[in-house]
């Protein structure tokens, strides 16, 4: 997703592209995924399950779940799963697949898969109660009010100058005054707090600025000296302060449903921040990575995190230090993308993940 404030104010381990192409070629020539030996023949989906967890019951490579999923051609959203659905393991036309049991067992799954069932119309299913790919509660904060924008654009937006009550802290129901580019009377605007800057490790260039929306307001008047009056309508857990920036609320659009899949990015990346932590990330944590929409990252992309191998002494060669190879340490899934940065959820971690850990599409095993 690209976020440009220009429009709003007016109304180590880098992999060459050839490496990614080699990975893509390997995907095309790869054999079918292997079903786990202990995969359940019958599984009842429970509330609180995630698509990733269910996929992991059947595959060692859960990102390949679509290759074993028997989609129902009579359903508009054939990949949705709901609590109390009964998943069964079937061999259909020589392939081992997982499908939803409609009461006819594997024969019914085969009918759905081949489209031989008689239906007067395609059934439309609701996304609302479906099983999410990952726990939505873990990422909701990073979906609702937190964005990454261009810092140069951010610094050109109007700022909160003062409040009507002349207090330093204001909240919902108060009036504040902004200075800068005149706002539009009757227009809703967001009030945003400056957060952390993101730096590209290779170049040390600032590639993004994290901002958090703290309030929404309605413009009631605009003066000729560039001062606009903003009546605060809602606040989001934080007070409005002098210096906060004001611009049109950005539509941080996330697809209603996204599915884990191997990333097809133009280069490798790395973890550049562990959110809400200063040290390391474990399963269930959120991290920021230096791959965004400009590098081809999309919601649902799965990447393997690698940790740099330790230095050891070669006692057979005059105690020379030797760096051991990087080893896979966990997996992350992108859920929100910006130009050069994305937020990702830690799906698994054999070792605690840290800033600087390298990221590549998962090996297609």
In tens, the pLDDT along 192-232 reads 999 999 998 888 999 999 999 999 999 999 998 989 999 99
For the chain, what are the domain ranges?
A: 158-247
Could you tell me the pLDDT band of residue 16, with boundaries at 50, 70 and 90? very low
CATH number for the domain formed by residue range(s) 158-247 = 2.40.10
| Degrees to nearest 5, angle at CA 266 with 265 and 272 | 70
pLDDT beyond 60 at 272: yes
pLDDT of residue 137: 86
Could you tell me the pLDDT band of residue 355, with boundaries at 50, 70 and 90? very high
Phi and psi based region of residue 296 (left: phi greater than 0; alpha: psi -120 to 50; beta: remaining) = left
pLDDT of residue 9: 40
What is the per-residue pLDDT across 285-326, written as a single tens digit (0 to 9) for each? 999 999 999 999 999 999 999 998 889 999 989 899 999 998
Mean pLDDT of the chain: 85
């Amino acid at each position: 997703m690209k976020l440009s404030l220009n429009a709003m104010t007016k109304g180590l381990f880098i992999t060459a592209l050839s490496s990614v192409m080699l990975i893509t070629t390997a995907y095309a020539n790869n054999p079918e995924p292997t079903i786990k030996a202990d995969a359940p023949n019958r599984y009842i989906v429970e509330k609180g399950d995630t698509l990733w967890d269910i996929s992991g019951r059947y595959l060692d490579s859960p990102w390949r779940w679509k290759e074993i999923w028997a989609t129902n051609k009579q359903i508009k959203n054939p990949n949705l799963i709901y609590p109390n659905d009964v998943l069964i393991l079937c061999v259909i036309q020589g392939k081992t697949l997982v499908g939803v049991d409609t009461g006819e067992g594997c024969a019914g799954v085969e009918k759905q898969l081949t489209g031989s069932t008689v239906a007067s119309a395609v059934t439309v299913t609701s996304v609302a109660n479906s099983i999410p790919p990952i726990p939505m509660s873990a990422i909701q904060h990073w979906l609702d009010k937190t964005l990454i924008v261009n810092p140069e654009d951010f610094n050109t937006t109007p700022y909160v100058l003062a409040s009507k009550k002349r207090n330093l802290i204001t909240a919902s129901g108060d009036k504040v005054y902004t200075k800068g580019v005149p706002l539009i009377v009757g227009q809703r605007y967001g009030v945003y707090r400056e957060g952390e800057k993101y730096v590209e490790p290779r170049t040390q260039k600032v590639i993004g600025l994290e901002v958090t929306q703290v309030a929404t307001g309605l413009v009631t008047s605009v003066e000729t000296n560039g001062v606009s009056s903003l009546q605060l309508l809602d606040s989001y857990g934080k007070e409005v302060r002098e210096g906060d920036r004001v611009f049109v609320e950005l539509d941080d659009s996330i697809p209603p449903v996204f599915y884990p899949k191997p990333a097809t990015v133009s280069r490798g990346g790395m973890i550049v921040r562990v959110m809400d932590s200063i040290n390391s990330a474990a399963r269930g944590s959120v991290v920021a990575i230096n791959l965004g929409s400009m590098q081809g990252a999309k919601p649902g992309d799965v990447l393997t995190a690698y940790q740099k191998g330790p230095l050891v002494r070669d006692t057979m060669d005059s105690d020379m230090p030797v760096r051991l190879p990087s080893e896979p340490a966990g997996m992350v899934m992108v859920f929100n993308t910006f130009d050069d940065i994305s937020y990702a959820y830690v799906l698994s971690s054999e070792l605690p993940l840290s800033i600087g850990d390298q990221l590549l599409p998962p090996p297609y095993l």
